[in-house]
Amino acid sequence: INGIPVKAVRSCVCEPTLNMTIEYFLQADTAFLSLETTGPVRVEMKGIVKRPDGKTEPFTYIYQFLTFDPTPTIDEDVFQVPQGVICNTSIYYHQLPNILPQFTTHGEIINTRNHRLSVFNVLFDWQEKLMRLEFYPEVHGNSSDRSIRMITDYRLGIQYNLDNNFRPCLIKSSYTSLADLEKLSWSYVLHVDDIYSLMTLNTAMFNYKGKLNVRGLTVDVWGRKSTIAGGITINREYYFLKTLHTAVPIGIFQKAFKLPKNNNDDDDDDDDGTVELINESWIHLYGYVQGHVHLDNFNIESCFHLRERFYINFQLEDKFDIYIKGYESLIFPSLRNSLARAANVSSVRISNMQIGRLSSDLMVVQFTLLDAPSIPGK
| CATH code of domain 102-225+232-257+277-290 | 2.50.20.30
Cβ burial 77-87 (10 Å sphere, 16+ → b, else e): eeeeebeeebe
- What's the confidence (pLDDT) of residue 242? 77
Report the alpha-carbon distance of residue 20 to residue 15 in Å, rounded.
Answer: 9
pLDDT value for 234: 86
**Gyration radius (Cα) of the chain, Å:** 25
Distance of CA 138 to the CA centre of its chain: 17
Residue 139 DSSP one-character state: T
Domain ranges of the chain: 6-72, 102-225+232-257+277-290, 304-370
Count of CB atoms situated within 10 Å of the CB of 41? 22
> Do the Cβ atoms of 276 and 261 come closer than 8 Å?
no
Comparing CA positions, the residue from 319, 316, 309 lying closest to residue 334 is: 316
Confidence of residue 69 (pLDDT cuts 50, 70, 90): very low
- Asked whether the beta carbons of 79 and 262 are under 8 A apart, the reply is no
What is residue 115's predicted lDDT score, i.e. its pLDDT? 74
Q: Mind listing the pLDDT tens digit for each residue in 317-344?
A: 454 433 344 334 456 666 777 778 777 7
Q: Which of 296, 300, 307 minimizes the C-alpha distance to 345? A: 300
According to DSSP, the residues that pair with 190 across neighbouring strands are: none
DSSP 153-167: ETTTTEEEE--BTTB
Q: Is pLDDT larger for residue 357 or for residue 70?
A: 357
pLDDT recorded at residue 145: 53
Question: What is the Cα–Cα distance from 228 to 189, expressed in whole angstroms?
Answer: 10
Confidence of residue 250 (pLDDT cuts 50, 70, 90): confident
Residue 46: is its pLDDT beyond 90? Answer: yes
Does residue 286 contact residue 214 with C-beta atoms inside 8 Å?
no
What are the residues facing 44 on neighbouring strands? Answer: 23, 62
Q: How far apart are CA 117 and CA 352, in angstroms?
A: 36
Check residue 284 and give its pLDDT: 87
Across 232-257, average pLDDT:
82
Confidence of residue 297 (pLDDT cuts 50, 70, 90): confident
Question: pLDDT at residue 312 above 80?
Answer: no
Is the model more confident about 82 or about 214?
A: 214
Under CATH, to which class is 6-72 assigned?
mainly beta
In angstroms, the CA 375 to CA 172 distance is 7
pLDDT attached to residue 45: 93
| Segment among 61-65, 84-88, 304-308 with least mean pLDDT | 84-88
pLDDT score for 47 = 92
Sign of CA dihedral 133, 223, 99, 112: negative
d(CA 70, CA 63): 18
How much of the chain, in percent, has pLDDT values that exceed 90? 4
> What pLDDT, on the 0 to 100 scale, is given for residue 311?
44
**pLDDT score of 146:** 65
